[in-house]
Amino acid sequence: MLTLATTTPGEPEIFASLQGEGPSIGRASTFVRLSRCNLACEWCDTAYTWRFAGDNRPHRDALTFERTDNQVTLNEAEVAGIIAALVPDRLVITGGEPLLQGAALARMLAALDEVRPGMHVEVETNSTVAPHPALAARIDQFNVSPKLTHSGNPAALALLPDRLAEWAANPRAFFKFVVASEADVAEVLVLQQAYAIQPERLFLMPEGRSSDVIRERSRWLADSCAKLGLRFTDRLHIHLWGDTRGT
């Protein structure tokens, strides 16, 4: 069984859209958003996947969500069927932290290959969880987003040396760092050097849940990327549809 986020109570957050971030930006994709996360970013724009009533981990909005309205559990074959009915041939598995459900995801992808073989599959991860071996064998691209100090997560939880070294050595992994200040860029450079992350696999992305904030930060961040030889990524979906579910 898979535990998914919802768009409205009882409706799983599975939808067709454009990938808004990272190396596949602009590509038509089917998205599956899973529920639950082992980290708690203060600026998280999908807090409805983890900050349920009774969870007091900090978040800038200080909102809590009812679990029964924001989670739904489906069997793997049912999820595969919903994905197969949508047009895009690229699947993005996001969250929350999807790799917490690695074994179930592997079963879902096996079921998907029976009805819609050959889909390109991306997984978005916060870098702290090793992929289940059966899942890793089927993934074409990992979008790895380690959480910096400004996320509010202790480094002992968010920046695990063994995990980061393994991702840096994985040619299918692309790093995407969320940046709000020049201090964040400096922190990224330390991590890049420590783990020998190749510049062509490293993206800097402005933190923000509105176009105004993203554009303001993009101006100086784009300049920084040009000077440092790193890649810049926008948040296209925010500009197009705002900070909304199912987009």
205-221 confidence digits (pLDDT tens): 999 999 999 999 999 99
**Domain spans of the chain?**
2-241
Q: Which two structure tokens, joined as six digits, stand for 123?
A: 């997984």
Predicted local confidence at residue 227, as pLDDT? 97
Q: Give the model's confidence band at 176: pLDDT under 50 very low, under 70 low, under 90 confident, else very high.
A: very high
Predicted local confidence at residue 61, as pLDDT? 94
User: Average pLDDT of the chain?
Assistant: 97
Predicted local confidence at residue 112, as pLDDT? 98
How far apart, in Å, are the Cα atoms of 12 and each of 18, 54, 86, 94, 181?
18, 23, 14, 13, 35
127-156 confidence digits (pLDDT tens): 999 999 999 999 999 999 999 999 999 999
* CATH T-level topology, domain 2-241: TIM Barrel (3.20.20)
Predicted local confidence at residue 187, as pLDDT? 98
Q: Give the model's confidence band at 190: pLDDT under 50 very low, under 70 low, under 90 confident, else very high.
A: very high
Predicted local confidence at residue 198, as pLDDT? 97
Q: Give the model's confidence band at 192: pLDDT under 50 very low, under 70 low, under 90 confident, else very high.
A: very high
75-104 confidence digits (pLDDT tens): 999 999 999 999 999 999 999 999 999 999
24-71 confidence digits (pLDDT tens): 999 999 999 999 999 999 999 999 999 999 998 999 999 999 999 999
105-124 confidence digits (pLDDT tens): 999 999 999 999 999 999 99
